[in-house]
Amino acid sequence: MNQWTMTLDSAGGPYDFLTEISHHPRRLGELLTNYGPAVAAGILGGAAAWAAARQGVWRWRNARLSPGARVIEIAVPPKVEDGSAAAWWAHLIGLTLPAWKRVLFGQPHLAFEYLADHTGVRFQVWVPGTVPPGLVEKTIRSAWPGATLTTRAATGPLPVDAQAAGGRLVLGRAEHFPLTHAHDSDPLRGLLGTASGLADGEHLAVQILARPATGRRLRRAHRAAAALRGARSTAPQGALFDLLTPGMTGHREPADLARQFPERGEQVRAILGKAAQPRFEAAIRYGVSTRHPDQAEAGWLRAHAHEVASTFALFTSGHQHLRRRRLRRPALRLADRRLHRGFLLSVRELAALAHLPYDLAAPGVTRAGARPVAPSPAVPVSGAGVRVLGDSEAGAPRPVGLTVAGARQHLHVLGQTGVGKSTFLANLILSDAAAGRGALVIDPKGDLITDVLDRLPDRAINRTALFDPADRGRPPCLNVLAGTDPAFAAESIVTTFRRCFSSSWGPRLDDLLRSACLTLTRVNGTRATLADIPRLLVDTPYRTRVTSRLTDELLQGFWASYDELTPAARASVIGPVMNKLRAVLLRPFVRDTLSGGASTIDLGGMLGTGGLILARLPKGVLGEDAVRLLGSLLLAHTWQAITPRATQHEHERRDAAAYIDEAHNFLNLPGSISDILAEARAYRFSLTLAHQHLSQLPKELRDAISADARNKIYFAASPEDATDLARHTAP
């Protein structure tokens, strides 16, 4: 033992030590016998402790990511640029933590996921709870303008109660070799084709986890490129081996290597091209599941999992490829979203693997609607005197409001059925109710007012009047023939009937109805109702009593001529008028509302004191003609009640509004609608006019709304309407 020690101590260096061992191999055996077990035990124990510590730290770091984790579902915008994903992943390099935080807590990762079921393909990003809310959302909106985002608490990509199969993909060669990232068409086409056409109970998921890569690992690519060129190794272990084996480096000149291995030049360029970009540490997992046991037994799971993996063969390059590996319990592994040690991918490689489809014909993809635009800072947010229209979709989330003064410019709301007009109108009405502003609502479907009533503030109930045929009680009475101006009341009725029945209206009908209305209002005053018109035309004794009290010579002459007609001629004259009056009077609810006696509701007074007048007039219950007449007469009488504001000082006029759904049916007011909109603005009476498409509006009405309803809210529009509406939205 002492002899061995002396020999070792006297060795001239590591080379002499190795020479001594080679000449006396028995001495190496003695050394291993004496010290080997202890050294091996120490090495194994240290390695086990190190591995356990690393595993514990890794578990703790990943456990920190789960609380508060969220997924951001992305509705693909109508148009996607093929370079958007690379810009997004490059932007995410900014999530790199400072070095001391990476040492303590590790670098958090994200997961880009493709999910598919029988409803189609979805795209989402999983974000750990340690990343501040809104940060990743901003990068997505910046990279893909027009994308619609929905953020919710994180859930697993696959149902854990279903049978599942899956795997993971790893690089087939050293990670410094790149995958192909340049494609003539969208590389997602194959995956989306596999994901489309799933039946109910079948699910598919592809998960790409990634975090910015840092540290010495990135420098290995340059060393690998240098080694291929024949340079000496600068790695610490290389220096150690050179020290232990001097003269045995095997170094060769680069020119000799280039002649012997001509392919190395291309390999070096590929490695350096990848190393020149920011890189991520990534992992790829995939899985399919089914709730149908017969499919699992028939090999459906394995076949579809293999099909998913096969779609990634498209990323094979001349230097690199992806290889399948087994993944145990795929549903749980995909759900925990833990990233241990991944492989390096450049931004371009990662963008090719994880992006939104830019192929317009991508199967199974539901795209977002119109591209959202962030509101101008000048647009009001909220507060006193502001009607909140909704929340912004683009930019930082914030309310979007319309000042009450701005609302006096009137509001045109256009959108097809089912796009959210009624919800939008309900929110505006409730905003007025909460602020104590008066409002008239005409709803020809019924759902809007039902929604408003369900959400109406308690303090607004006592100042609300409801016209509803479903109400068993007697409706409020609105005598449209009564009023401070009999001529205006008569003109409103005649104009309403003329415009509602324009296809079958003529001068004789106009003359007859106007004369009847004027006669009744001048003789009976506020006691006159629409129900008196048929009696005046048919009942001769009653007509004689009424006309005998007339002082107007023109009206007297009209009735004298009327009485000279034969019964047959008289029936021919009054037939069209009676036909149209029956549309109103044969409906008990409409008859009680318009002809039930003296008015029980003061429209002007209610609107001036913050009252709500809700007219629920479902066409399916009352009929289209009755709804058009009743709604038009209600609006005309409201306008008649508003016009006396001309005698008030401007500061005394309280803001009020009219919300008219399917407005083209009810804008049958006497006079020019353009003039009425201008006057209403001065009276602080704003109109919100909603309908489905522009072809519903007569040209005069369409031009008036285009010019005088200066606030525009457009939901989904037809291509024909969009062409015309674009003029209002252009800068």
CA distance 73 to 136: 12
Give the model's pLDDT for residue 292: 86
Q: Is the pLDDT at 295 greater than 90, yes or no? A: no
Determine the average pLDDT of the residues in 509-523. 91
Residue 329, φ and ψ in degrees, nearest 5: 45, 65
Q: Which of 355, 337, 227 is nearest to 284 (CA)?
A: 337
Label residue 23 by pLDDT band (50, 70, 90).
Answer: low
CA distance 32 to 5: 14
Which tens digits make up the pLDDT trace of 47-77? 888 777 777 776 777 778 888 899 999 999 9
Question: Minimal CA–CA distance to 428: which of 397, 468, 401?
Answer: 401
Judge if 66-226+271-353 and 405-476+606-731 fold alike in CATH terms: no
DSSP 645-694: GGGS-GGG---EEEEEETGGGT---SS-HHHHHHHHHHTTEEEEEEES-G
Task: Answer yes or no: are the C-beta atoms of 424 and 597 closer than 8 Å.
Answer: no
What is the tens place of the pLDDT at every residue in 302-335?
999 999 999 999 999 988 999 999 999 999 999 9
Whether the pLDDT of residue 12 is over 70: the answer is no
pLDDT at 437: 92
How far apart, in whole angstroms, are the C-alpha atoms of residue 73 and residue 154? Answer: 10
681-702 mean pLDDT: 92
Of the candidate ranges 3-17, 268-282, 503-517, 661-675, the one whose mean pLDDT is the lowest: 3-17
- The CATH class for the domain spanning 66-226+271-353 reads alpha beta
Per-domain boundaries in the chain: 2-64, 66-226+271-353, 405-476+606-731, 477-600
Q: What is the mean pLDDT of residues 481-507?
A: 84
> What is the predicted pLDDT for the residue at 29?
72
In the predicted model, is pLDDT for residue 136 greater than 80?
Answer: yes
The answer to whether 403 and 385 have CB atoms below 8 angstroms apart is: yes
- Given a cut of 80, whether residue 280 has pLDDT beyond it is yes
Q: Which fold has domain 405-476+606-731?
A: Rossmann fold (3.40.50)
The radius of gyration of the chain's CA atoms, rounded to the nearest angstrom, is 41
**pLDDT tens across 402-459, in order?**
999 999 999 999 988 888 889 999 999 999 999 999 999 999 999 999 999 999 998 9
Confidence tier at 239 by pLDDT (50, 70, 90): low
Q: Of 299, 283, 402, which is closest to residue 345 (Cα–Cα)?
A: 283
Tell me the pLDDT band of 5, cut-offs 50, 70 and 90: very low
Q: State mean pLDDT over 270-278.
A: 90
Q: Across residues 692-702, what is the average pLDDT?
A: 90
Q: What is the pLDDT of residue 4?
A: 45
Count CB-CB contacts under 10 A for residue 472. Answer: 6
Distance separating alpha carbons of residues 36 and 676, to the nearest angstrom: 104
With a cut of 70, say whether residue 16 has pLDDT above it: no
- For residue range 570-614, list pLDDT tens digits in order: 888 898 888 888 878 888 999 999 888 888 899 999 999 999 999
